[in-house]
Chain A
Amino acid sequence: MRLVVVLRLLVIAGLIGLVEMLCRMGVIDNFTMPPPSRIGADLWRLLASGKFNGAIGKTLSNAALAFFLAVSIGMLAGVVIHRIASIRAALDPFFATYYAVPVLAFYPLLIILFGLGDAPKIIIAFMLGVVAVIVNTLNGLDRVPKVLLKTARMARMGWFETANKITLPSAAPFVLTGVKFAVAYALIGIIGSEFILSTEGVGFEIAFAYNNFDNATMYPLILLVMTVSITVNMLLGMWEKRLLQRRGLR
């Protein structure tokens, strides 16, 4: 186990070292991409200057809001859809093809409807994430052993209490998969729409720096987004691992 972690870190360090070397040898010229060590130092400088605090705060708070909406509404919708077989049957094909639709293409329409504020971005990010949560919740609810439902009935639990205390906890490993998707989609949705058309946020700042050949800003911000996304995913991964270990599944 330890060895695996060490190997993994070595692979990452090796890749970064390789890129660093290519940059310093001039194989990758500095106008294309500065060496990773510079990007790291630049990020530190940017964060310390506080110049982008507003943009970072905006992006992260919007992403967090979209994430919580996607997870809570997705789980609730999953429970309700699972309860009503006819709705389930009617919606299943839509879920199956949902991710074939480029949701970001609706962004201009949403701007016309809601203006150039936070709302269209949050809606986009929410729309991207919510179906992943619904689908994975349904998947988990399908696998709840019948005997647990009988146990809930013996304890005279209503449908909401049963969902809250029995079926969702039982389906937790699956729901968590949906939650991990929701994290990724929240960031993609928010930063993606900031990229397309916006006046604020990390995505806008990256696009702005790109248009001004400002590599000393663009790359550090990209690194920041990657770091946030990977960190949140790793935390969820650790939670998931504990959950599965408890159930003897890993």
Chain B
Amino acid sequence: MKRRLALWICLLLVWSLLPMLWQLISSFSTAESLVNGSIPFLQRWTLVHYKELLASDPPFWRYLLNSAIVSALTTVITLALAIPAAYGLARVPLQLRRVLRWITVAAALFPYVLLFLALLELARRFSLGNSLIALAMPYSGLAMPLALLLLTSVFESLPRELEDAARLEGLGLWQRLRWVLVPLLAPATASTAILVFLFAWNEYPIALTWLSRDELLTLPVAMARIAGSSIYSIPYGAYAAATVLGSIPLLLLVLICQRQIVSGLTNGAIKG
């Protein structure tokens, strides 16, 4: 039984990690070796893709920085609004809460790509284009329903008496949030934050339409440009190197918050 399980886990790991490994190998291989299988193993390695990426104008780390700024800002705005909102939602009467929850679910499931023309119009009207801070606004709006759903269900799962005890201790509303509820929700908040961060990190259509200046591009848009930079050949190597660099910050984030994510997920953060 145990060995069967281990086998399955190994298969799953291969299934999900193999593409990444492929990218890793590609990113260190010369362009020629990627299309020509007869090049000997020892002669195929190179760092040229990375060098090019970092030497280009603007350098690749600039895109990473842009994405990091937008994603971090999105996460902060989303959580700052979603935590109090989720608290409020968890406290409204049951029937109203049900209605509100359905609306939130509908909003979370809505294919947001359909909104991008309208959003583009907004950006034009209020000159929000080419600003990373402005880009975080639609992002946090779009991430809000999911964050709200996740956080509301955790607030609901907290025993009512904990907050009652805090009230009798003399803690006002914000003090209860600050000293009791938010610390108790830390694991769930961390896993929500990562989902929001991921969304903003990967978002493509809105970034594509809102940003045009080279030095402001976020990672997905920059990657798309690399992929389409030449009409004669596809730059597999450069693309793979960009993928590798682009996933390093996420890997770091997940490693740092690993404990919170796991306990948040198993705490029933993703229920209801």
Do the two chains belong together in a single complex?
A: no
